[in-house]
Structure 1
Amino acid sequence: MNTKAVRGDWDSRVFDAVNIFLLVVITILIVVPLWNVIVSSFSSGRALAEGGFIFWPTEFSFENYRAVFRDSTIWQSFFISVSKTVIGVVTHVFFCAMVGYALSKSKLRGRKFYVAMGVITMFFSGGMIPTYLLIKSLGLLNSFWVYIIPALLSFYDVIVLMNFFRNVPDSLEESAKIDGAGDWRIFLSIFIPLSMPAMATIVLFNGVGQWNDFMTTKLYVTDQWLYPLQMKLYEIIVQSQTQSMQNVGGSAVIETATKGVQLATIVITTLPIVVMYPILQRYFISGMMLGAVKE
């Protein structure tokens, strides 16, 4: 019997066992708190007041969600959140892809200068007050486009797409030019479809950022009809806390009522992202460029 083969097989089993153990522990650490939040959001105020970990609601209740959806403008805020996320993601990805496609060409004049300018913006910014004055001078205050235009470009995403475009074989572009395709046709018909795995990653991260964006509304929007879901839920939490303080003087009851609403808002704001992630996940592990060119 080959001792090296036996030792290698034993090392492989130990390695697999350690990996499985670590993955199980990490999964438990992630799933258990998430499950506790979901279950607690369906628990009554009395069950939450008892404290401790809740594995299953002893007193099942929708009161926390009723408190959230009691506001008649919640659906308007939901529409604003969905609209700014969809429009913001589409415009952001397309704009970054155009810039990345141009910068991926070594023949572009001033390419190094443009890249240097973009890299500088990754480390330095104008600051909050100059940015506010810029947004005001552009007339974007209390405008839906304040969610879209300032978020059009992220040079980090440009770098990701630029490096991905460099890996596209030159023979594809050359054959398209021989067939009479122009730059726009090549960009839309070849580079965009082949870069779907990279774009899906940017879509996911930018979509999460757009969906969870809170500071843009806090700084630049005062019109409540333009409030996204996150800002509206924040107001609901504040109102719930205020009403509890007016009705009851006990701090424990105030904390319990507010906590239930907070847990419900966490579930509501997280659910769309949880639903979208499995849809985009397949692009992370599949490459559309495989087999595209036969040498």
Structure 2
Amino acid sequence: MRLSLGDKIMQRTIYILLTLLALLMLYPFWNALVISFNLGSDTALGGVTLLPRAFTLENYYIVFQDHRLLNSFLITILRTLSGTALSVFFTALLAYGMSKKTLLFRKQYMVFFMITMFFSGGLIPSYLLVRSLGMLDTFWVLIIPGIISVWNMIVIRTFFNALPEGLEESAKIDGCSNYGIFFRIVIPVSGPVLATIALFTAVGYWNDWFTGAIYITKDELLPIQTLLRQVMNSNIMTQIGSSNAIALDHMNRNRTITTKSLTMATMMIATIPIILTYPFLQKYFVKGVMIGSLKE
């Protein structure tokens, strides 16, 4: 279809505005990446914007000398993988039960879940509950408190409601139990919505610093985002020096490292892995959200 002159102008204007908006949002991340590869002493002079002016890997060398970072990185990876798997499983299991119209007190359960979604018990009651359960300073406190998301449950439940009833009816005729239907039929055909929820959940676990700051006091259990926040709110030179004499000696001899350059390098290490997961799940992303949110 041929476009009129006005339509072409409008189309190009929209493209230009969207391109500028994308660049505006991407620039802070790109600038942080550039600074992480630039000499800290040179960055302090200003003017480092699009490309490193004095390229170096010293910032990453110093950061990786800090054993706390590597330990926190491992804790975050384990938390994200195990937390995402458990959260998707139990949320899907709950959604499957809530999708059944024959479930007794189904509406009352839904009201209860909705209340918990909009209103929380508060920080102090939550802390007292976690403490009474003996989960303070444990790995599981990073996973269990947020293992069920009501919003995710609603999305998955809506997706389940859109599945053809004939799938389950034919399975029941063949003698399949409810658990068999769930694991052998419902889960295999729910890949798009489960992948989407898994992505949301993984990003949430990976970026969460608050849980570690409240419930964890042991350095060996701190997630990387909590450690990064501590680093950015304190003197990174002192922290790294106190934990690694080799890194401190390297910094004293070279004098090219600054707090800002090390902070940016740490931030890149904490951010890039979760960004790299998006391309692998992007094909499920739009399809899963649209199906799970619009069909009823």
Pairwise TM-score range, normalised by the shorter structure: 0.7 to 0.9
Deviations 1:134-182 (A, max 9, x none): 0000010011110121111111111111111100010111111122211
Equivalent position of 2:140 in the other structure: 145
- Code of the aligned partner of 1:99: L
Answering whether residue 167 of structure 2 is matched by residue 172 of structure 1, we say yes
CA distance in 1, matches of 2:108, 2:138: 33
- Code of the aligned partner of 1:21: I
Equivalent position of 2:236 in the other structure: 240
Equivalent position of 2:267 in the other structure: 266
- What pairs with 1:130-209 in structure 2 (closer than 5 Å)? 130-209=125-204
Tell me how far 1:10 sits from its aligned partner. Answer: 4.3
Unaligned runs of 5+ in 2: 241-247, 249-256, 292-296
Equivalent position of 2:278 in the other structure: 277
- Code of the aligned partner of 1:276: T
Change (3 A) 1:194 1:241: same
- Segments of 4+ moved more than 6 angstroms: none
CA distance in 2, matches of 1:72, 1:269: 14
Matched position secondary structure for 1:108: coil
CA distance in 1, matches of 2:194, 2:239: 45
8 A contact 1:47–1:57 mirrored in 2:
no
- Code of the aligned partner of 1:176: A
TM-score (norm 2): 0.85
- What pairs with 1:8-27 in structure 2 (closer than 5 Å)? 9-10=4-5, 12-27=7-22
| Length, aligned pairs only | 274
CA distance in 1, matches of 2:31, 2:60: 16
Tell me how far 1:46 sits from its aligned partner. Answer: 2.3
8 A contact 2:231–2:263 mirrored in 1:
no
- What pairs with 1:44-193 in structure 2 (closer than 5 Å)? 44-193=39-188
Change (3 A) 1:163 1:36: same
Tell me how far 1:221 sits from its aligned partner. Answer: 0.9
CA distance in 2, matches of 1:16, 1:243: 53
CA distance in 2, matches of 1:18, 1:102: 49
Deviations 1:198-237 (A, max 9, x none): 1122111111110111111111111111112223334444
User: Kindly, what percent of the aligned residue pairs are identical?
Assistant: 42
Tell me how far 1:239 sits from its aligned partner. Answer: 3.9
Tell me how far 1:69 sits from its aligned partner. Answer: 1.4
TM-score (norm 1): 0.86
Change (3 A) 1:30 1:96: same
8 A contact 2:80–2:202 mirrored in 1:
yes
Give the structure, 1 or 2, with the largest relative contact order (CA under 8 Å, sep 6 or more): 2
8 A contact 2:99–2:160 mirrored in 1:
yes
Matched position secondary structure for 2:187: helix
CA distance in 2, matches of 1:222, 1:203: 28
